[in-house]
Copies of this chain bind each other. A is one copy, B any other.
Amino acid sequence: MALARVGYLGPEGSFSHEAVLTLADVEPVACASIADVLAGVADGSLDSGLVPLENAIEGTVSATIDALVFDYNLVIEREVVLPIHLHLLAKAGVTPHDVTRVSSYVHALAQVRGYLAGLGHAQIEQTTSTSEAAREVAESSEPWAAVGSKIAGSLFGLEIIAADIADHPGNATRFVEVGRGAIAAPTGNDRTSIVCFQDADRPGSLYGILGRFAARDINLTKLESRPTKLGLGDYCFVIEFDGHVGDDIIGDCLADLQAHLVRVKFLGSYPVTGEGSSDRREEVGEARRSAAQWITSLRSRIRD
């Protein structure tokens, strides 16, 4: 069987590469940009794409979310949460004190600013990716170092000379795998992502939208406003919440929003990574089931 071709933001050795390697039975395909990944999925040259959606420190990846919201009709099928460990990478035998130049991608450098200030003596250089930084270090005869992932070090024969040097520990990036339309089967612990577009400038309407979720005890896990590119102050809302479009209550909520309040674009229902709050879900589920039986029994008494 041919492996699924899954695009990612290259070059090889990037955190996106590390994320795609966590998937089974795939053939990773490095792309030059997030836009190229998504375009490849849309035109069929890729089976799916794995793109970064948000980072615990940096926040939303605008290129990804804006492309999903405005440019493509793709569907999120899976999420992959990757812990981000940044290391100081150099050739064997070089110690942090020897290093005369540290290079990396601008976001990676920003996350190790405190560590680098402690080094003091080294010159700081920006590169176009963390992999590129590792390549430069590998090709140079100077005692240089790169900030990057373990995989980037391995690719270019570098060693970790200082591990986990990020100023805020516990960083992670959430990636999503997107496809051309199929929706993941419900697992009982799912998440759904949508975008809500306002028809007109209705004051208070975000409040109205949230009320539809509150009224059904649907737990929101993320809300973000994005500019619609129609002018300053014109926003749409990306909303993520617990549940699957196949669940009665979620389907009813989305139909309600679509019918009465906003234009809704569906971005996907997919399994939640990590442990869910399944106890509370079961309890709520039981109450709903029992209430649903009550309605069914009432309806059985309606005259023909």
Closest beta carbon of chain B to A225's beta carbon, Å: 5
Give the docked Cα–Cα distance between A205 and B193 (Å).
Answer: 19
Q: How large is the interface on A (under 10, 10 to 19, 20 to 34, 35 or more residues)?
A: 35 or more
Give the docked Cα–Cα distance between A31 and B269 (Å).
Answer: 45
Chain B proximity mask over A101-131: 1 for CB below 8 Å, otherwise 0: 0000000000000000000000000000000
On whether A303 and B58 interact (CB within 8 A), knowing A215-B212, A215-B215, A256-B216, the answer reads no
Quick check: is A227 within 8 A (CB to CB) of the other chain? yes
This chain's copy number in the assembly: 4
Chain B proximity mask over A282-304: 1 for CB below 8 Å, otherwise 0: 00100110111011001101111
B217:A207 contact, CB within 8 angstroms: no
B260:A172 contact, CB within 8 angstroms: no
Give the docked Cα–Cα distance between A217 and B303 (Å).
Answer: 26
A291:B212 contact, CB within 8 angstroms: no
B203:A302 contact, CB within 8 angstroms: no
Residues of B within 8 A of A252 (CB): 248-249, 252
B227:A225 contact, CB within 8 angstroms: no
Residues of B within 8 A of A75 (CB): 301
Binding site for B on A (CB under 8 A): 54-59, 62, 66, 75, 81, 168, 170, 172, 174, 181-186, 203-204, 206-207, 210-217, 219-227, 229-235, 245-246, 248-249, 251-252, 254-256, 258-260, 266, 269, 284, 287-288, 290-292, 294-295, 298-299, 301-304
